[in-house]
């Protein structure tokens, strides 16, 4: 979830090395580490946790999620951003379930654009490292760093990009098997389709009743755009977003949906984004998946996703999902 909200309260930050290990009794504090990639840095702050082993575990998990984000184009999209991790059983947004139907290890996340860009994650206190690694929320929220603030009318673009990348980036980082990532995308598209018709996608805004269509209709837009770039321009979504990051993106970036897609077309040298945007923004039903699935060699029958062994389809699926090395970040 991405939002522009009032400024965060001032944080009392205690760097890990400055927190005396022999202090007693243990007091809940804020702990910060910094992930550096080139001249960019991501501040990772665990708030109000006294157990140093738990702090290390949460920061290690977040570093793995940041590694997944780096597989997009090898660097952080912003020069400066921060992640705030808070322990809570439900988060401000209410409890949700994980993909298996159990209580989610990360009940809620949000990307805030106020005093810089902040990713806020609520983590269940008893969630173990394996549960956290299996959750998509952190990678989803980090994926919001790839786009400017797009306002209410662009919510479907913002959430769609994060929903697409939460699966793609985790597969590239080896956190998901590639076929499993396609299955999770397909399951998301099915949830979006089952949410029914309604307002045009570009007019829904923040309607909670249409959340699944917003997230997964938007994800289908980005999948189609990625495929169009690969077929028509011999480019890919990662390359175009990387170019956008270098020319146009900072912590205060704001654009209308129309401005954003027009700039992506300029950087990609075509009209793929604008043509798709006009079609998708006017849709009142979930977008069709047949053409994309045909190109990818995907086939949904009897509630299961099948995979063609057609050579061109296998190459295309692998090009999008295959593991790739991230940059070499340092953590302090």
Give strand pairing partners of 63: none
Structure confidence by residue, pLDDT tens digits, 57-84: 999 999 999 999 999 999 999 999 999 9
Of all residues in the chain, what percent carry a pLDDT higher than 70?
88
pLDDT digits (tens, 9 = 90+) for 13-60: 233 323 333 434 456 788 999 999 988 999 999 999 999 999 999 999
Q: Chain-wide mean pLDDT for the chain?
A: 88
End-to-end CA distance of the chain: 28
Residue 7 has pLDDT above 60, yes or no: no
Q: Taking 80 as the threshold, does the pLDDT of residue 137 lie above it?
A: yes
- The two structure tokens encoding residue 283: 């849709």
Note whether 154 and 256 are within 8 A (CB).
Answer: yes
Q: What is the DSSP letter of 189?
A: H
pLDDT at residue number 252: 87
Q: Which is more confident, 8 or 278?
A: 278
Q: What is the pLDDT of residue 91?
A: 54
DSSP 284-328: SSPPP-HHHHHHHTEEEETTEEEE---HHHHHHHHHHHS------
Tokens of 229: 């770039």
CA distance 97 to 105: 8
195, 213 contact by CB (below 8 A): yes
- Mean pLDDT of all residues in 161-184: 97
- Provide mean pLDDT across the span 145-169: 96
Region 256-283 average pLDDT:
96
Whether residue 111 contacts residue 148, with contact meaning beta carbons closer than 8 Å, is answered with no
Check residue 170 and give its pLDDT. Answer: 97
Dihedral angle at the C-alpha atoms of 165, 33, 81, 227, nearest 10 degrees?
-20
3 or 264: whose pLDDT is higher?
264
Residue 15 pLDDT: 30
More confident site: 211 or 13: 211
d(CA 9, CA 15): 18
pLDDT of residue 1: 72
The answer to whether residues 109 and 121 touch, using CB atoms and an 8 Å cutoff, is yes
* 3-state secondary structure string across 264-276: HHHHHCCCHHHHH
Contact between residue 326 and residue 70 where contact means Cβ atoms under 8 Å apart: yes
Q: What is the DSSP letter of 144?
A: G
Give pLDDT, residue 178.
96
Q: Which residues contact 214 (CB under 8 A, 6 or more apart)?
A: 155, 156, 159, 160, 201, 204, 207
What pLDDT sits at residue 17? 28
Predicted TM-score (pTM) of the model is 0.88
pLDDT tens figures, 85-118: 999 876 554 445 444 445 899 999 999 987 788 9
Task: Report the range of poorest mean pLDDT among 25-29, 121-125, 126-130, 257-261.
Answer: 25-29
Residue 97, both tokens: 């379930």
Rounded to the nearest angstrom, the gap between the alpha carbon of residue 36 and the centroid of all alpha carbons in its chain is: 19
């Amino acid at each position: 979830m991405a939002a522009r909200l009032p400024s965060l309260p001032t944080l009392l930050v205690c760097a890990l090395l400055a927190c005396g290990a022999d202090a007693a009794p243990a007091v809940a504090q804020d702990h910060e580490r910094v992930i550096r990639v080139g001249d960019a840095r991501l501040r990772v702050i665990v708030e109000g946790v006294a157990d140093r082993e738990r702090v290390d575990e949460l920061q290690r998990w977040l570093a793995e999620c940041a590694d997944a984000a780096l597989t997009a184009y090898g660097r952080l999209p912003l020069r400066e951003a921060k992640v705030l991790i808070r322990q809570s059983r439900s988060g401000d947004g209410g409890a949700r379930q994980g993909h298996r139907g159990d209580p989610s290890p990360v009940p809620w996340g949000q990307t805030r654009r106020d005093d810089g860009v902040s990713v806020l994650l609520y983590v269940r206190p008893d969630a173990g490292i394996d549960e956290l690694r299996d959750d998509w929320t952190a990678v989803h929220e980090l994926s919001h760093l790839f786009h400017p603030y797009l306002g209410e009318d662009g919510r479907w673009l913002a959430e769609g990009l994060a929903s697409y990348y939460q699966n793609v980036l985790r597969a590239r980082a080896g956190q998901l098997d590639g076929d499993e990532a396609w299955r999770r995308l397909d399951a998301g598209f099915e949830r979006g389709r089952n949410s029914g018709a309604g307002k045009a996608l570009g007019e829904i805004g923040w309607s909670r009743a249409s959340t699944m269509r917003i997230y997964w209709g938007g994800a289908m837009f980005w999948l189609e755009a990625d495929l169009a770039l690969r077929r028509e321009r011999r480019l890919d979504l990662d390359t175009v977003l990387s170019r956008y990051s270098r020319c146009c993106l900072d912590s205060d970036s704001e654009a209308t949906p129309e401005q954003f897609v027009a700039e992506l077309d300029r950087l990609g040298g075509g009209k793929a984004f604008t043509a798709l945007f006009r079609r998708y923004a006017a849709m009142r039903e979930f977008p069709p998946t047949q053409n994309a699935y045909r190109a990818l060699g995907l086939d949904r029958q009897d509630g299961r996703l099948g995979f063609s062994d057609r050579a061109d389809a296998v190459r295309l699926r692998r090009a999008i999902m295959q593991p790739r090395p991230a940059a070499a970040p340092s953590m302090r």
